[in-house]
């Protein structure tokens, strides 16, 4: 066989492995719906379906001046948000970079740093240019975006379950981080009132609905994947004891990147040996199983593992030293984006990528193979992403009835915004699952959840009190 034929044989094998038929998707959705329901019934399930204590949709007429503070993985962001009603707003923001020490220092010190940055921001924006304490005419409400798994009992309360994203600050896990932050605000005499603590996915849901009222679901496809939506309180059995009004709604942070974790029973037909490998070699084996087949942190690594297998079989880079691509995690998911979007006939971007980053020459046949392989992995990710959305749509009945309205899906994260055709593939899979009706579920770029969303929630909370 010629080189082209040999590579095509490999391609057919991977195509088989990574392609998800409509029937497979439908099966996964069925199981996904059940898992979401179990999470609403009982505490501490694999997909925890965390009540967010945000009650119902914003009206779109929320107005006023709010502050939002977002403790992200890399930066601390302080925003001043002016809500203008009619779904309009203006944002001014400052970012403060977090050091590695700050991610490991005593928990209270981390919140002191947050309060200190907030004070600096307030002095810059509302002060008279001196170091004097700022006196505000009226107290400004602050929304705190704290996107780590937390258990809430109220909108201004959030017990940190465990740190993620590289944080390890002692004496914080198990504590109410809202209370810790409030203590720091008092210590630094910051003249504001923290009214709400939220997860960024919940913020994205509310911000996207504020601007576009048909948005009923928010999803993140970035380093990880997750979603939030609005549930009827009567359908959340696990909080029955709180005696909340049964006819109201509450936002749920699904944390559904955990779908299929531990038992791996729901996607066993489609898990490949590469998924298995990534899972076992990750810092949290058996956790976040769904996310590991979808998200930005992993797609590049799947691609790299396939290349390594083929190198071992003598099918790629003949006669060259391949040590540079044999190191774990050196192949960023952004490379797959680049490969898929190479506009040249000769695939010159692909040529450059391999020579520049890995010191490897590629043949035209190899480059064509890589482009098709990236397509397989990127398409699988987008099609699997549709299953979580479809499960929420099914659960909420957004496509039921003779004249279904469907819904908008606010989506955010680099995969959604930068990966070529991600959105188109997602939509295609929704049509595979629901038929033509699937076109009524429309993904669109979400609004800034941790800034604007947090501010809107602060406004909603104030209005409720």
- For the bound state, the minimum distance from the C-beta of residue 74 to ligand ADP, rounded and expressed in Å, comes to 8
- Which of 413, 428, 451, 453 is in the footprint of ligand ADP by CB under 6 A? 413
Question: How many chain residues are in contact with ligand ADP, going by CB under 6 A?
Answer: 14
**What is the Cα–Cα distance from 301 to 188, expressed in whole angstroms?**
45
- For the bound state, the minimum distance from the C-beta of residue 328 to ligand ADP, rounded and expressed in Å, comes to 14
Q: Which is nearer to ligand ADP, 143 or 296 (CB)?
A: 296
**Residues whose CB falls within 8 Å of the CB of residue 183, separated by 6 or more in sequence, listed in order:** 108, 111
- For the bound state, the minimum distance from the C-beta of residue 304 to ligand ADP, rounded and expressed in Å, comes to 12
Nearest CA among 152, 145, 143, 178 for reference residue 52: 152
- Which of 119, 152, 199, 337 is in the footprint of ligand ADP by CB under 6 A? 337
User: Which of 79-87, 156-164, 307-315, 328-336 is the region at the interface with ligand ADP (rule: CB under 6 A)?
Assistant: 328-336
- For the bound state, the minimum distance from the C-beta of residue 42 to ligand ADP, rounded and expressed in Å, comes to 29
- Residues annotated as catalytic are 147, 162, 200
Around Cβ 343, how many Cβ atoms within 10 Å?
Answer: 7
Is 419 a binding residue for ligand ADP by CB under 6 A? The answer is yes
**What is the Cα–Cα distance from 462 to 63, expressed in whole angstroms?**
11
Nearest CA among 400, 391, 412 for reference residue 440: 400
- For the bound state, the minimum distance from the C-beta of residue 177 to ligand ADP, rounded and expressed in Å, comes to 19
Closest CB to ligand ADP belongs to which residue? 222
Strand segments, DSSP code E, in 244-395 are 249-253
Q: Which is nearer to ligand ADP, 91 or 242 (CB)?
A: 91
Is 30 a binding residue for ligand ADP by CB under 6 A? The answer is no
- Which of 332, 396, 440, 444 is in the footprint of ligand ADP by CB under 6 A? 332
State which of positions 37-76 bind ligand ADP (CB under 6 A): 73
**Residues whose CB falls within 8 Å of the CB of residue 365, separated by 6 or more in sequence, listed in order:** 3, 4, 7
**What is the Cα–Cα distance from 68 to 80, expressed in whole angstroms?**
6
Q: Which is nearer to ligand ADP, 321 or 329 (CB)?
A: 329
User: Which of 43-51, 246-254, 330-338, 346-354 is the region at the interface with ligand ADP (rule: CB under 6 A)?
Assistant: 330-338
Is 379 a binding residue for ligand ADP by CB under 6 A? The answer is no
- For the bound state, the minimum distance from the C-beta of residue 175 to ligand ADP, rounded and expressed in Å, comes to 24
Is 95 a binding residue for ligand ADP by CB under 6 A? The answer is no
User: Which of 132-140, 149-157, 179-187, 415-423 is the region at the interface with ligand ADP (rule: CB under 6 A)?
Assistant: 415-423
Nearest CA among 160, 157, 134, 156 for reference residue 147: 160
**Residues whose CB falls within 8 Å of the CB of residue 45, separated by 6 or more in sequence, listed in order:** 35, 38, 39
Nearest CA among 198, 214, 206, 199 for reference residue 443: 214
Provide φ and ψ at 142, rounded to 5°.
-120, 135
- Look at the chain and count its residues: 465
**What is the Cα–Cα distance from 130 to 448, expressed in whole angstroms?**
32
Nearest CA among 109, 146, 172 for reference residue 454: 146
State which of positions 161-220 bind ligand ADP (CB under 6 A): none
Longest dimension (CA), the chain: 80
User: Which of 14-22, 113-121, 331-339, 367-375 is the region at the interface with ligand ADP (rule: CB under 6 A)?
Assistant: 331-339
Q: Which is nearer to ligand ADP, 141 or 377 (CB)?
A: 377
Question: C-alpha distances in angstroms, 391 versus 259, 385, 386, 387?
Answer: 12, 10, 8, 6
- For the bound state, the minimum distance from the C-beta of residue 419 to ligand ADP, rounded and expressed in Å, comes to 4
Around Cβ 189, how many Cβ atoms within 10 Å?
Answer: 10
State which of positions 288-327 bind ligand ADP (CB under 6 A): 296-297
Is 418 a binding residue for ligand ADP by CB under 6 A? The answer is yes
Helices 296-312, 273-280: axis angle to 10 degrees equals: 120
Is 443 a binding residue for ligand ADP by CB under 6 A? The answer is no
Q: Which is nearer to ligand ADP, 104 or 164 (CB)?
A: 164
Is 222 a binding residue for ligand ADP by CB under 6 A? The answer is yes
**What is the Cα–Cα distance from 444 to 427, expressed in whole angstroms?**
11
Residues that bind ligand ADP (CB under 6 A): 73, 222-223, 296-297, 332-334, 337, 413-415, 418-419
């Amino acid at each position: 066989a010629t080189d082209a034929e040999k590579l095509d044989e490999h391609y057919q094998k991977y195509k088989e492995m990574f392609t998800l038929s409509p029937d497979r998707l439908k099966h996964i959705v069925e199981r996904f719906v059940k898992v979401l329901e179990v999470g609403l019934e009982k505490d501490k399930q694999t997909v925890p379906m965390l009540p967010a204590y945000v009650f119902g949709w914003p009206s779109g007429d929320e107005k006023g001046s709010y502050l939002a503070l977002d403790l992200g993985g890399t930066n601390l962001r302080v925003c001043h948000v002016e809500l203008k009603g009619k779904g309009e707003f203006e944002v001014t923001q400052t970012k403060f970079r977090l050091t590695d020490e700050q991610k490991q220092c005593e928990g209270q010190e981390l919140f002191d740093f947050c309060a200190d940055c907030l004070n600096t921001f307030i002095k810059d924006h509302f002060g008279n240019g001196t170091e004097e304490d700022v006196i505000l005419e009226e107290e400004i409400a602050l929304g705190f975006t704290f996107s780590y798994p937390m258990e809430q009992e109220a909108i201004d309360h959030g017990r940190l379950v465990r740190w993620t994203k590289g944080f390890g600050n002692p004496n914080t896990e198990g504590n109410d981080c809202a209370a810790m932050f409030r203590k720091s605000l008092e210590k630094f005499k910051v003249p504001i009132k923290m009214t709400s603590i939220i997860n960024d996915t919940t913020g994205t849901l509310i911000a996207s609905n504020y601007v576009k009222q048909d948005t009923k679901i928010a999803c993140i496809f970035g380093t990880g994947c997750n979603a939030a939506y609005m549930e009827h309180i009567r359908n959340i059995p696990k909080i029955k004891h709180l005696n909340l009004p049964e006819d109201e709604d509450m936002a749920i942070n699904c944390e559904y990147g955990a779908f299929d974790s531990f038992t791996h029973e729901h996607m066993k037909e489609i898990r490949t040996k590469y998924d298995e490998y990534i899972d076992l070699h990750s810092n949290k084996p058996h956790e976040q199983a769904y996310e590991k087949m979808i998200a930005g942190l992993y797609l590049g690594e799947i691609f790299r593992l396939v290349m390594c297998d083929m190198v071992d079989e003598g099918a790629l880079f003949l006669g060259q030293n391949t040590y540079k691509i044999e190191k774990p995690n050196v192949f960023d998911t952004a490379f797959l984006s680049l490969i898929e979007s190479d506009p040249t006939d000769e695939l010159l971007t692909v040529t450059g990528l391999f020579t520049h980053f890995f010191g490897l020459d590629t043949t035209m046949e190899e480059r064509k193979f890589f482009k098709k392989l990236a397509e397989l992995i990127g398409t699988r990710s987008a099609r699997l992403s549709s299953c979580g959305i479809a499960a929420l749509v099914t659960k909420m009945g957004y496509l039921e009835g003779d004249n279904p309205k469907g819904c908008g899906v606010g989506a955010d994260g680099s995969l959604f915004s930068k990966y070529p055709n991600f959105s188109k593939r997602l939509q295609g899979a929704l049509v595979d699952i629901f038929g033509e009706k699937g076109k009524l579920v429309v993904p669109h770029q979400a609004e800034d959840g941790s800034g604007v969303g947090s501010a809107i929630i602060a406004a909603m909370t104030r209005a409720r009190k």
